[in-house]
DNA sequence: TTGAAAGCGTTACCAA
DNA sequence: TTGGTAACGCTTTCAA
């Protein structure tokens, strides 16, 4: 592949001159410019950005780490942040970890070798190892979805405590008395811990019955289904269920259906996320709208400021949500 | 940020020696090795991959260009190809074009500057300009979703003609006589042209009534809804509709519902893709399963072979599909 | 208006 | 077993 050197030779000028022409600098005679441009055409010269990056010590690269891209939260998020980065002329190096938490750390290190200017990390949990890796990172890291502010890692999160609190109030207002929670791994602070805690706070404050159950499963429809099925047997008195995500909630709706129960009548169901699925399923799912695209955009914007060396002004951004009332509550 | 040079100085050895230690080459005295490792720790040395890439003339980078990531086809595809590239130690530079076709070309050029080793392009249409840009690319390009084999661009596609043909047969077998097609932009050969053409061929072969209508819209539920609504007025005799995608089909189901018609009874509906939505909506959507994850994996694998300099053995891979029978047909 | 040379951080070859 | 040096492809400074 042709280099500046080849072009220079063909045009009969020096590399410096070719460089000047390529970069539209002035102070080059028109005749030389044309001569050079012709040579560029002829050899099919394409700038070597790697060399340029090395010379300039800037890569214009940002790293994005996600557990997987085919989830509502991350897909929307990646589109959101791509847009912002694109406008800022940054390019996205994407790593999909296939749910393998160890890889998050490997990618943080890899991205540092690649000299990315910043990293957006969609985490599902946060432990000592991860915190350490982030602190070791030369490139600034911003966390999305989990709260790392305790460790001074700037974070974009959703208001998971309040969403649980709201869920409790919505279920109680709908007349529920025996309320349970279907969550995910308890290492997931945002999705499992905060949301259930908010729910419990609401029950306490309203002096309702304490939480009937809190079960742990996966982020899938199938998992929601099988959990709800088991829970129905153990807790037939259940009349309200708050599910940590919409997909889990849809599984729960199906389990109720199979048991001859209509979600929204005998048992109220509430999800989180406002996944497209929730509008389409039957009965349609009452939920909370989480602005995943805005989360991505915010993360990108905050990271850009950090990259530009602006002082870090916030320790976290907590995004709000909207109640979405449909048929199941 | 510390470089080999700094480490060398601190350890009191030459850069060459440090390089040898870093890269685990043998022929280094144990004592020196330890001395160097200590220095590495001390200055927090991190390899500069940019310099390494320049020196070795290899970036281990592949570019992936998508119209957007938050669609079933691309999200699944990106996860699939990420997995394969990850195993092959390649890293993914992702560009989300926000449906702006001009950007596809810009990104092909940008990626060449960045010296990616190959490019996966999810295209929504294919024109002279795009073909030209691909032919100019030094990095091999593989197309997903559209057939570029006519221009000698290796392509991974779904069997869009046959899916239309099958759709025709399924609708006819279900007793439909007045069949229409709801498509997308007619510049989209794969999704609009091929699928409708297959449908027409089935109608012809079975000597059924010719296609009642062929309308053009967007890839959204809303668009499917508004089109179906209009078409119902113009063609009240319709008893079967093949929709170019599942989302469009779901919009159509809702439009029928609003008109007091049950999809699957008076009017049969068929979609394409087996989007998760199709299993969850009511009535549930009969469709065709497209293996988007496999498409991504295939693309990655084919590209890897090209990168490794293996001869190009195929001009396209046509993936098959499965009929998914649910309630609407 | 142009060119020569140094240097970005590596590796690889040759010499010591 | 180690070190010096050139080279990867570019930009930038200084001199001509």
b/e burial code for range A168-192 (CB count within 10 A of at least 16 → b): bbbbbeeebebbbbbbbeeebbbbb
Kindly list the strands in the beta sheet with A214-216, ordered across the sheet, starting from the edge strand earlier in the chain: A214-216, A179-183, A240-243, A268-270
Nearest CA-CA partner of B64 in B111, B8, B18:
B111
- Mean pLDDT for all residues in chain A: 97
Class of domain A61-158+292-320: alpha beta
**CA–C1' gap, B47 and C8, in angstroms:** 14
CATH architecture of the domain with residue range A160-289? 3-Layer(aba) Sandwich (3.40)
Residues with Cβ within 8 Å of residue A320, at least 6 apart in sequence: A159
Q: Which two tokens stand for residue A121?
A: 């990390």
pLDDT of residue B99: 84
Strand partners for B66: B96
User: Hey, which residues does A316 pair with through a beta bridge?
Assistant: A155
Q: Which residues of B touch A71 (CB under 8 A)?
A: 75
Contact yes or no for B49 and A115 at CB 8 A: yes
> Which residues does chain B have within 8 Å of residue A69's beta carbon, measured at their own beta carbons?
69, 75, 78-79, 82
Q: CA-nearest residue of chain A to B136?
A: A44
Are A281 and B282 within 8 A, CB to CB? Answer: yes
Asked whether residue B91 carries a pLDDT value surpassing 90, the answer given is yes
Pick the CATH number of B4-56 from 1.10.260.40, 3.40.50.300, 1.25.40.390, 1.10.1370.30: 1.10.260.40
Helical residues (DSSP H) of A191-328, grouped into ranges: 195-205, 221-234, 246-258, 276-280, 292-307
Give B133's pLDDT tier (boundaries 50, 70, 90).
very high
pTM comes to 0.95
Cβ proximity of B317 and B156 under 8 Å: yes
In Å, what is the separation between the CA of A115 and the C1' of C7?
19
Mean pLDDT of chain B: 97
Contacts of B245 (CB under 8 A, 6+ apart): B184, B191, B219, B271, B272, B273, B275
Say how far apart CA B152 and CA A72 lie, in whole Å: 36
Mean pLDDT across A299-312: 96
Domains A4-56 and A160-289 share a fold: no
Cβ pairs A/B, distance under 8 A: 130
Q: How does strand A179-183 pair with strand A155-158?
A: unpaired
Average the pLDDT over B190-198 and give the result: 98
What integer pLDDT is reported at residue A149 of this predicted model? 96
CA distance B160 to B158: 5
Distance CA A202, CA A208 (A): 8
| Residue-level pLDDT at A6 | 97
Identify the three-state secondary structure at position A67. coil
Paired sense of beta strands A268-270 and A240-243, if any: parallel
A33-90 tens-digit pLDDT: 999 999 999 999 999 999 999 999 999 999 999 999 999 999 999 999 999 999 999 9
Distance from the B105 Cα atom to the nearest Cα atom in chain A, whole angstroms? 15
What confidence tier does A288 reach under pLDDT thresholds 50, 70, 90? very high
**In the complex, which nucleotide's C1' lies nearest to the CA atom of residue A28?**
C1
Query: What would the mean pLDDT of A124-153 be, rounded to a whole number?
Result: 97
- Chain C nucleotides near the protein (CB, 7 A): 1-5, 7-13
Show me where the domains of chain B are located. 4-56, 61-158+292-320, 160-289
Q: Distance (Å, rounded) from C-alpha A195 to C-alpha A201? A: 10
pLDDT 10s digits, A150-190: 999 999 999 999 999 999 999 999 999 999 999 999 999 99
Our CA-based measurement puts residue A279 at a distance from the nearest CA of chain B, in whole angstroms, of 9
Q: Is the pLDDT of residue A99 over 90?
A: no
Yes or no: say if B317 and B155 are a contact pair by the CB < 8 Å rule.
Answer: yes
Rounded CA gap, A231 and B159, in Å?
44
**Helix or strand (DSSP H, E) at B83:** helix B72-87
Which residue, counting CA atoms, is nearest to the C1' of nucleotide C3?
Answer: A14
């Amino acid at each position: 592949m042709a280099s500046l050197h080849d072009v220079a030779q063909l045009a009969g000028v020096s590399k410096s001159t070719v460089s000047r022409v390529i970069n539209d600098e002035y102070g080059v005679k028109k005749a030389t410019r044309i001569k050079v441009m012709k040579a560029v055409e002829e050899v099919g010269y394409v700038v070597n950005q790697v060399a340029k990056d090395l010379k300039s010590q800037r890569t214009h690269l940002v790293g994005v780490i996600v557990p997987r891209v085919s989830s509502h939260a991350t897909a929307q998020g990646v589109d959101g942040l791509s847009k912002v980065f694109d406008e800022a002329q940054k390019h996205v190096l994407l790593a999909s970890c296939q749910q393998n938490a160890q890889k998050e750390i490997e990618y943080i290190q890899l991205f540092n070798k690649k000299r990315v200017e910043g990293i957006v990390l969609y985490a599902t949990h946060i432990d000592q190892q991860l915190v350490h890796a982030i602190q070791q990172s030369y490139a600034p890291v911003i966390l999305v979805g989990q709260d790392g502010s305790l460790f001074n890692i700037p974070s974009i999160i959703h208001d998971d405590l309040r969403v649980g609190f709201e869920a409790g109030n919505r279920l109680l207002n709908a007349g529920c008395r025996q309320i349970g929670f279907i969550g995910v791994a308890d290492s997931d602070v945002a999705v499992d811990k905060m949301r259930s805690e908010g729910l419990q706070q609401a029950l306490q404050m309203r002096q309702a019955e304490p939480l009937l159950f809190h079960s742990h499963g996966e982020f899938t429809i199938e998992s929601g289904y099988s959990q709800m099925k088991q829970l129905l047997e153990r807790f037939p008195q259940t009349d309200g269920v708050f599910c940590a995500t919409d997909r889990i909630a849809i599984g729960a709706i199906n389990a109720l259906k199979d048991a001859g129960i209509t979600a929204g009548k005998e048992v109220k169901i509430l999800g989180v996320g406002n996944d497209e699925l929730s509008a389409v399923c039957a009965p349609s799912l009452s939920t909370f709208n989480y602005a995943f695209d805005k989360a991505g955009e915010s993360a990108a914007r905050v990271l850009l400021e950090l990259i530009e060396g602006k002082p870090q002004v916030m320790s976290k951004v907590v995004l709000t949500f909207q109640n979405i009332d449909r048929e199941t509550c």
